[in-house]
Every structure is written in structure tokens, then in C-alpha cells.
Amino acid sequence: MLPADADTVGRRRLLRTAGGAAVVVMGLILAVAVASAKPPPGGGGGGKPPSGDSASQTFEISGAIAGLYPTLARTLNLKLENPNKVAVTVETLQIEVGDAGPGCTSSNLAVAPVALPVDIPASGETTVAVTVRLADDPDDACQGARFPLTYTGTASR
């Protein structure tokens, strides 16, 4: 069995939903999601909520984990922050695991589903615990690897 010490790194993803269309932008360490309860005028996409759309809500997702070893389950604490002046309910939250590099695919890291829905108070924050586990017998290339994590989600009032 490989004594792998793997880390994960969070990435930023901006997701704007409007009538089924989505626009995604990637960055580092943080994620933001915007959900619109109604489609833009004329149906169609574009991914940008209509200006003045009070139903659109944003929230931030951040979290990272280190010290992963085979057979050891660890807790990833995701911080969910609500910058809005109204409470929001997180309805979807996905954690996408990327490949850590050649020979160390995302299949070597398992992430449990997030228990939903999650309420975040107005101008507040909450933490969600997620179980993460490195494979019992990971590929040799996973020793000291860093798995990129991408967070996305939607929220409503």
C-alpha cells in the first residue's frame, strides 16, 4: 500500500443560472453561485440575471483539505458565506474532483454528497462538513499529489 500524502486545492467557479443557461468562470480557492428564480426577458440564455432581479442571490463557497492517506477518511469543512441582506437556502452544491496529474486521476479521491438544503442567514455564514477519502490503494503517482476541487451550487431566498 502506498503511503500517499495528498492535498486538495479549491477553485473558484461562477455559475449564473437563468432559464437553463449557464456561464462558468474559473479562478482560485473560492466559489460563487448565483441563482435566478425567473428567466431573462425573452427566454433565452446569456447566463446573466436581469438587472434589478431581486430573486438572484449569491453565496461564496471555500474550503481545502490536506493530509490525505489511504484508508483514512478526512473531513472537508466547506465555508458557505452569504453577503446578501436576506437569508438564502443552498439547494444544490457540487464538488468536482480534478485529476492530480498524470497517473493520478480523480477516481483516487472520493467525496461524499453534501446534505442539502442548507440555510445561510442574512449577511452570515455556515460550515458544512463533507467526508473525503483517498482510495485504499491509490496509484503510485498520487504520492504527495494535489487534487483540484471545483465547487458550484445554487441558492434561492
Closest listed residue to residue 118, CA positions, set 86, 93, 94, 145 = 93
In a domain, 12, yes or no: yes
pLDDT at 6: 55
How far apart are alpha carbons 12 and 27 in whole angstroms?
5
Q: 41: burial class by Cβ within 10 Å (0-12, 13-18, 19+)?
A: exposed
Q: Indicate the average pLDDT of the chain.
A: 73
Look at 90 and 18; give whichever has higher pLDDT.
Answer: 90
In a domain, 1, yes or no: no
pLDDT of 26 over the 70 cut: no
Total Cβ atoms within 10 A of residue 59: 25
In a domain, 2, yes or no: no
pLDDT of 28 over the 90 cut: no
In a domain, 70, yes or no: yes
pLDDT at 71: 85
Mode of pairing for the β-strands spanning 57-62 and 30-35 = antiparallel
Least confident residue range of 23-32, 48-57, 72-81, 145-154:
23-32
Number of domains in the chain: 1
How far apart are alpha carbons 75 and 65 in whole angstroms?
8
In a domain, 78, yes or no: yes
In a domain, 86, yes or no: yes
Domain that holds residue 12: 7-156
pLDDT at 89: 95
pTM over 0.75: no
- Report the Cα–Cα distance between both ends of the chain, in Å, rounded: 48
pLDDT at 34: 29
In a domain, 134, yes or no: yes
pLDDT confidence tier of residue 117, bands split at 50, 70 and 90: very high
Q: What backbone torsions phi and psi does residue 46 show, to the nearest 5 degrees?
A: 100, -30
In a domain, 106, yes or no: yes
**For residues 16-30, average pLDDT:** 25
**For residues 3-29, average pLDDT:** 35
